[in-house]
Every structure is written in C-alpha cells, then in structure tokens.
C-alpha cells in the first residue's frame, strides 16, 4: 500500500518508521518494496545516462563551436 511512496522516498519520517516496522514482519511488502526500489533506481539511471537527443545535439554543437574558435589577444 505504502510501498510505492516508500520506494520513491515520499513518506514522512513517522510514516517511514512505521512502514519499516511493518516491512520487518511482512514478507510480501518487503519483496514489493525491494522490487520498486530497484525499478526506481534503474529508471533514475536510465534518465541520467540518456540525455534527450536534442540536448545531446546542442552540447555537441557547442563543443564544436568552442573548438573552432581561435584564441584572441589577451585582454
């Protein structure tokens, strides 16, 4: 019931403590929580590893532009 919110760290301290006590004695919630936590971690990783194509293009374009600039005279 609270497994989703728990996996996403969306519970208050009190709720979390109570839920962790429940996890200690409830195998199905413990299993569900472990799965949801793993899934959330995988999704988080996927998001940070795969930038939007437009963003990637923009970054590559800027890198190319910087490389093409010749150094100017010192100020």
- C-beta of 4: minimal distance to Zn ion in Å? 13
Question: Which stretch in 4-12, 19-27, 50-58, 62-70 sits in contact with Zn ion by CB under 5 A?
Answer: 19-27
Q: How far is the CB of 36 from Zn ion (least distance, A)?
A: 13
User: Measured between alpha carbons, how far is 17 from 32 in angstroms, rounded to an integer?
Assistant: 17
Judged on CB neighbours under 10 Å (0-12, 13-18, 19+), 24 is: exposed
Q: Which DSSP letter does residue 50 get? A: S
CB of 14 to Zn ion, least distance (A): 18
Total residues belonging to the chain: 75
Among 24, 26, 41, 45, binds Zn ion (CB under 5 A): 26
Site residues, Zn ion (CB under 5 A): 26, 29
């Amino acid at each position: 019931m609270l497994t989703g919110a728990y996996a996403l760290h969306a519970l208050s301290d009190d709720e979390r403590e109570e839920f962790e006590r429940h996890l200690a004695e409830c195998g199905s919630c413990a299993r569900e929580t472990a799965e949801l936590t793993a899934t959330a971690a995988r999704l988080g990783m996927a998001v940070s590893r795969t930038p939007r194509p437009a963003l990637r293009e923009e970054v590559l374009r800027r890198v190319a532009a910087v490389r093409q600039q010749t150094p100017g005279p010192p100020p």
